[in-house]
């Protein structure tokens, strides 16, 4: 029982990077960053800073031995700005001192002269000025919207906006680089992607990949914010290490982390939707303007997922979805749970909401009749398989009784003037796999020690989502032994090479499958060893169950430990490497057609809210969902992932508001200015019903990915609040612009209709 992350966390025993005993003499780095959102650098004066006590080095672009380039998808991001700055918070120099305070104080003494250039913060303005990350539009389409409009009884147009979101992982970005022999460097960092750090550090330092060992112990949360954006700090630490010959540690403080790192992408989107009288959606056009910030980062991949998920859980025969990654003078925005999917789905829900209002129907009627059926094709060509859209909806509809939710809400609103309730339903369908097919690969290195204990190393990074526990379970299930025998190791590039980020909710799926393969290999060697020793023929069934060998169906007295010790003495290899590449997926990025996802995850949630009409504040009364968990291998982890994700989704659309001023400065850069849901905001009731099934899918042991899909149930909270506002003032002209902060709810109740 002691061998659980949760218990270690509660006892304060878990080791995070900043707890890790850094080598004696470790130096500390502080980042000096651009105070201007756009401009030409005309001078940089570090002379005063150099004189500050304790300062050992000040590193700028000119000190980089290799390339000053950290871009992943597109090579458009410098480690340090040299001639131009494009956002406030863009790193310009790294001050290295013998303690963090001295480094930060010295950084304040650096002087930079910048000739300001025009600052753009809004994606549509960027689009109009031709400021784009990629010039061409990304377009996903099916059928013909041009043809379809004439078959529609109703056509509506509108705009929907969603805001940014701060990751607010408890552990801020941090890295420690330690010099090894022969010019090699070990980087330990809080990253979802150790391989990206290895490759980028090698490139910046002009060394080969094998000169960099990159490790992640466990993260105090990542949520996508450390998929790409842990790299810069880790590479800076490595560069500092190379230049000073000493270990270098960089730990951003909270405010630096909020100012310097990118967030969820805000979007502004224009839609046009066409329906039949009965509410069938016939045609849908949408243009997404994604606010990418000043560099590509993961924006193009995120835009792809927005486009892939723009039809949500619905079948729409005629679709044209266009997307632009707009370049603005903000920190590059990045991965965040859902990876553009939530932004895509939100717009269609806004369109359905708008249509329903004009057609005097309830949104849930339109939602229900358009749900995906088995075999329906998405605009990207893939057809649904084991589709659970209707099953989840119907189960939720009956278990949570949507009709009585409606009746109770109406009755409450009749009876109350100062408080109004609202509810909304949200079906989710989320594709599992990286949309970039190449990334869908994983490896596992399993050692069985002679005493029968097991060590599992994969590319999966533990960030609180419980992947380490799931991997231990996979090994234990495959071997037929107790989970206590198995340990998940820290993620390290010398044990697992060429790993993908732990992301796209597929960490447990892919690394679990690789682990199953590796364990299976060792298991078959062990079984053969037993057969030889017991003089059984090759075909006689030998199994291991609950730590004992079962021979020809009968339990023996040979324990797992005895078997492994004996195998060792007989010179049997007790280690194996498993490699998993998600089968049957492909995607052609030129036509945007293919089978990008291994499978889809489905569910339906209903959220009820109460709005205080005098204050604009609100409570989430309940979140109830039927969710397709597949055959869960760890229902406790899966349930808590679902609850955490939906809370994060609700936060995105309600309290959390990322605000920049017109100069590109982040205003919401403290926790007093940026509100996240806390325990007091937690819904009074959260109920997740498991739609269990044993469908064949690419999840390990037919489990299903859980990390991201429930995030999107949060969208129901937004529309529930809009309904509550409209119950308070039926003439309120609510602009669909998330988040619905209490201020906005208030203004929407009392604001003038234009």
As annotated, the active-site residues are 708
Distance CA 261, CA 357 (A): 39
Closest distance to ligand LUZ from the beta carbon of 572 (Å): 39
Residue from 39, 89, 179, 224 in contact with ligand MTE (CB under 6 A): 224
> 604, 639, 626, 623: which is closest to 685 by C-alpha?
623
503 binds ligand MTE (CB under 6 A): yes
CB atoms within 10 A of CB 642: 25
Establish if 463 lies at the interface with ligand MTE (CB under 6 A). yes
Candidates 160-168, 280-288, 336-344, 611-619; binding stretch for ligand MOS (CB under 6 A): 336-344
Of residues 339, 419, 530, 560, which one binds ligand MOS by CB under 6 A? 339
Cα separation, 702 vs 512, whole angstroms: 11
Task: Please report whether residue 223 would count as binding ligand MTE according to CB under 6 A.
Answer: yes
Q: Mark residues 184-213: x for contact with ligand MOS by CB under 6 A, - for none.
A: --------x---------------------
* Comparison of 456 and 734: residue with beta carbon closer to ligand MTE: 456
Query: 210-249 mask for ligand MOS (x: CB under 6 A)?
Result: ------------x-x--x----------------------
The answer to whether 217 and 490 are in contact (CB under 8 A) is yes
Q: Please identify the residue of the shown chain whose CB is closest to the bound ligand LUZ.
A: 339
Query: C-beta of 643: minimal distance to ligand MOS in Å?
Result: 17
CB of 325 to ligand LUZ, least distance (A): 14
Q: Which residue is nearest to ligand MOS (CB)?
A: 224
Residue with tokens 């043809």: 147
Q: Applying CB under 6 A, which part among 150-158, 533-541, 609-617, 702-710 lies near ligand MTE?
A: 702-710
Which of ligand LUZ, ligand MOS, ligand MTE, none interacts with 465 (beta carbon under 5 to 8 A by kind)? Answer: ligand MTE
Nearest-approach distance from CB 501 to ligand MTE, in angstroms:
8
Half-sphere CA count of 355, side-chain side, radius 13 A = 31
From 286, 508, 609, 666, residue interacting with ligand MTE (rule: CB under 6 A): 508
> Under a CB-based contact definition with an 8 Å cutoff, are residues 553 and 541 in contact?
yes
| Beta strands 185-189 and 212-216, pairing class | parallel
Question: What backbone torsions phi and psi does residue 38 show, to the nearest 5 degrees?
Answer: -160, 130
Helix (H) or strand (E) segment spanning residue 275 = strand 267-275
Report the C-alpha gap between 470 and 671 in whole angstroms. Answer: 33
119/463 with CB nearer ligand MTE: 463
Instruction: Pick one of 78, 259, 337, 527: the residue that binds ligand MTE (CB under 6 A).
Output: 337
Q: Please tell me the distance from the alpha carbon of residue 381 to that of residue 360, in angstroms, as a whole number.
A: 33
**Which of 92, 219, 350, 504 contacts ligand MOS by CB under 6 A?**
504
DSSP string of 378-404, one letter each residue: PTTSPBPSS--HHHHHHHHHHHTTHHH
* 345-357: burial string, b at 16+ Cβ within 10 Å, e else: bbbbbbbbbbbbe
Pick from 52, 78, 337, 600 the residue near ligand MOS by CB under 6 A: 337
For residues 339 and 674, give the distance between their C-alpha atoms in angstroms, rounded to a whole number: 21
Q: Which of 428, 467, 469, 518 binds ligand MTE (CB under 6 A)?
A: 467
Peptide bond before residue 739 is cis, with ω within 30 degrees of 0: yes
For residue 722, give Cα distances in angstroms to 223, 312, 363, 400. 27, 20, 12, 21
Minimum distance from residue 745 beta carbon to ligand MOS (Å): 28
Q: How many chain residues interact with ligand MTE (CB under 6 A)?
A: 21
Cβ of residue 520: shortest distance to ligand MTE, in angstroms?
21
3-state secondary structure of 349: helix
In the shown chain, the binding pattern of residues 281 to 320 toward ligand MOS, with x for contact by CB under 6 A and - for none, equals: ----------------------------------------
Between the CA atoms of 540, 545, 550 and 556, what dihedral angle is there, to the nearest 10 degrees?
160
Q: Are 245 and 179 in contact (CB under 8 A)?
A: yes
Using rule CB under 6 A, residue 77 touches ligand MOS: no
Decide if residue 341 touches ligand MOS (CB under 6 A): no
User: What is the β-pairing status of strands 318-327 and 281-293?
Assistant: parallel
Binding partner of 320, given ligand MOS, ligand MTE, ligand LUZ, none, CB within 5-8 angstroms per partner class? none
- Other CB atoms within 10 Å distance of the CB of residue 601: 25
Q: Could you say whether residue 222 binds ligand MTE (CB under 6 A)?
A: yes
How far is it, in rounded angstroms, from Cα 727 to Cα 22? 58
Q: Where are the alpha helices (DSSP H) in 23-88?
A: 47-51
Q: Buried b vs exposed e over 660-688: b needs ≥16 C-beta within 10 Å?
A: beeebbbebbeeeebbebeeebebeebeb
How many residues bind ligand MOS, per CB under 6 A?
10
Among the listed residues 343, 349, 341, the one whose alpha carbon sits nearest the alpha carbon of residue 284: 349
User: Is residue 419 part of the contact set for ligand MTE (CB under 6 A)?
Assistant: no
Nearer to ligand MOS, 216 or 745 (CB): 216
DSSP assignment of 129-183 equals TT-BSSSSPEEEEES-HHHHGGG-SEEEEEEEEE-------SSPPEEEEEE-GGG
Is residue 431 within the footprint of ligand MTE (CB under 6 A)?
A: no
Residues that bind ligand LUZ (CB under 6 A): 298, 301, 305, 335, 339, 434-436, 439, 503-504
Binding residue (CB under 6 A) for ligand MTE from 71, 143, 221, 520: 221
Binding pattern for the stretch 531-570 against ligand MOS, x by CB under 6 A and - elsewhere: ----------------------------------------
Q: Choose the one of ligand MOS, ligand MTE, ligand LUZ, none that binds residue 463, judging by a C-beta under 5 to 8 angstroms depending on kind.
A: ligand MTE
Q: Is 562 exposed, middle or buried (0-12, 13-18, 19+ CB in 10 A)?
A: middle
Closest to ligand LUZ by CB, 503 or 510: 503
Binds 580: which of ligand MOS, ligand LUZ, ligand MTE, none (CB < 5-8 Å by kind): none
Taking the C-alpha atoms of residue 172 and residue 251, their distance in angstroms, rounded to an integer, is 7
CB 2 → ligand MTE: shortest distance, Å?
21
Q: CB nearer to ligand MOS: give 445 or 503.
A: 503
Site for ligand MTE, rule CB under 6 A: 221-224, 337, 463-465, 467, 502-508, 641, 644, 705, 707-708
* Binding stretches for ligand MOS (CB under 6 A): 192, 222, 224, 227, 335-337, 339, 503-504
């Amino acid at each position: 029982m002691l061998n659980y992350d949760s218990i270690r966390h509660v006892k304060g025993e878990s080791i995070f990077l900043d707890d890790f005993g850094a080598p004696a003499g470790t130096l500390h780095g502080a980042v000096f960053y651009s105070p201007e959102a756009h401009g030409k650098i005309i001078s940089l004066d570090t002379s005063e800073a150099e004189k500050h006590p304790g300062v050992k080095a000040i590193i700028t672009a000119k000190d980089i031995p290799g390339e000053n380039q950290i871009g992943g998808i597109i090579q458009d991001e410098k480690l340090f700005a040299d001639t131009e700055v494009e956002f406030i918070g863009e790193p310009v120099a790294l001050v290295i001192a013998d303690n963090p305070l001295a480094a930060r104080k010295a950084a304040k003494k650096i002087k930079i002269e910048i000739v300001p250039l025009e600052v753009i913060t809004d994606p549509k303005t960027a689009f109009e000025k031709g400021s784009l990350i990629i010039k061409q539009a990304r377009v996903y389409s099916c059928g013909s919207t041009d043809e379809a409009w004439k078959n529609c009884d109703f056509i509506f147009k509108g705009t929907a906006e969603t805001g940014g979101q701060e990751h607010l992982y408890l552990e801020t970005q941090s890295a420690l680089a330690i010099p090894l022999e022969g010019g090699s460097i070990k980087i330990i960092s809080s990253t979802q992607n150790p391989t990206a750090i290895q490759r980028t550090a090698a490139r910046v330092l002009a060394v080969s990949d094998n000169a960099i060992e990159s490790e992640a112990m466990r993260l105090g949360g990542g949520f996508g914010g450390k998929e790409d954006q842990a790299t810069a700090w880790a590479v800076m630490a490595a560069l500092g290490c190379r230049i000073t010959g000493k270990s270098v540690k960089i730990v951003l403080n909270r405010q630096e982390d909020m100012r310097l790192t990118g967030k969820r992408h805000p979007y502004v989107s224009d839609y046009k939707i066409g329906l039949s009288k009965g509410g069938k959606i016939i045609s849908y056009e949408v243009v997404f303007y994604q606010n990418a910030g000043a560099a590509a980062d993961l924006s193009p991949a995120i835009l792809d997922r927005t486009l892939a998920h723009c039809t949500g859980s619905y079948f729409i025969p005629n679709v044209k979805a266009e997307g632009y990654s707009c370049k603005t003078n903000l920190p590059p925005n990045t991965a965040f749970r859902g990876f553009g999917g939530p932004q895509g789905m939100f717009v269609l829900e806004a369109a359905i909401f708008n249509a329903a209002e004009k057609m005097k129907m309830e949104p849930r009627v339109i939602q229900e009749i358009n749900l995906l059926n088995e075999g329906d094709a998405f605009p990207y060509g893939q057809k649904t398989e084991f589709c659970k859209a209707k099953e989840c909806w119907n189960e939720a509809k009956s278990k949570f009784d949507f009709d009585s939710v409606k009746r109770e809400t109406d009755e409450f609103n009749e009876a109350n003037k100062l408080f109004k309730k609202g509810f909304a339903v949200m079906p989710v369908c989320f594709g599992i796999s990286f949309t970039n097919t190449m990334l869908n690969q994983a490896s596992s290195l399993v050692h069985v020690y002679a005493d029968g204990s097991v060590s599992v190393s994969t590319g999966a990074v533990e960030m609180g989502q419980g992947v380490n526990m799931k991997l231990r379970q996979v090994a234990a299930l495959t071997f037929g032994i107790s989970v206590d025998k198995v340990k998940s190791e820290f993620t390290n590039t010398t044990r697992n090479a060429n790993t993908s980020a732990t992301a796209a909710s597929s960490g447990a799926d892919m690394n679990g499958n690789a682990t199953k393969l590796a364990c299976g290999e060792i298991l078959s060697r062990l079984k053969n060893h037993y057969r030889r020793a017991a003089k059984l023929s090759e075909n006689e069934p030998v199994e291991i169950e609950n730590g004992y060998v079962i021979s020809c169906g009968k339990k023996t007295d040979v324990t797992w430990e005895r078997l492994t010790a004996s195998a060792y003495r007989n010179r049997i290899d007790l280690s194996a490497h498993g490699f998993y590449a998600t089968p049957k997926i492909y995607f052609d990025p030129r036509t945007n057609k293919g089978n990008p996802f291994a499978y889809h995850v489905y569910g339906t949630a209903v959220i009820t809210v109460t709005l205080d009409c005098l204050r604009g504040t609100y409570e989430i009364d309940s979140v109830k969902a039927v969710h397709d968990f597949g055959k869960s291998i760890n229902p406790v982890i899966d349930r808590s992932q679902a609850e955490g994700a939906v809370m994060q989704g609700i936060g995105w659309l309600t309290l959390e508001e990322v605000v920049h001023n017109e100069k590109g400065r982040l205003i919401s850069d403290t926790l007093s200015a940026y509100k996240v849901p806390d325990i007091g905001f937690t819904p009074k009731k959260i109920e997740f019903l498991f739609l269990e099934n044993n469908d064949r899918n690419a999840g390990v042991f037919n489990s299903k990915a859980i990390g991201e899909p429930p995030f999107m149930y949060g969208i129901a909270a937004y529309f529930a609040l809009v309904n509550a506002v409209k119950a308070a003032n039926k003439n309120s002209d609510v602009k669909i612009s998330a988040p619905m902060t209490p201020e906005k709810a208030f203004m929407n109740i009392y604001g003038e209709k234009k």
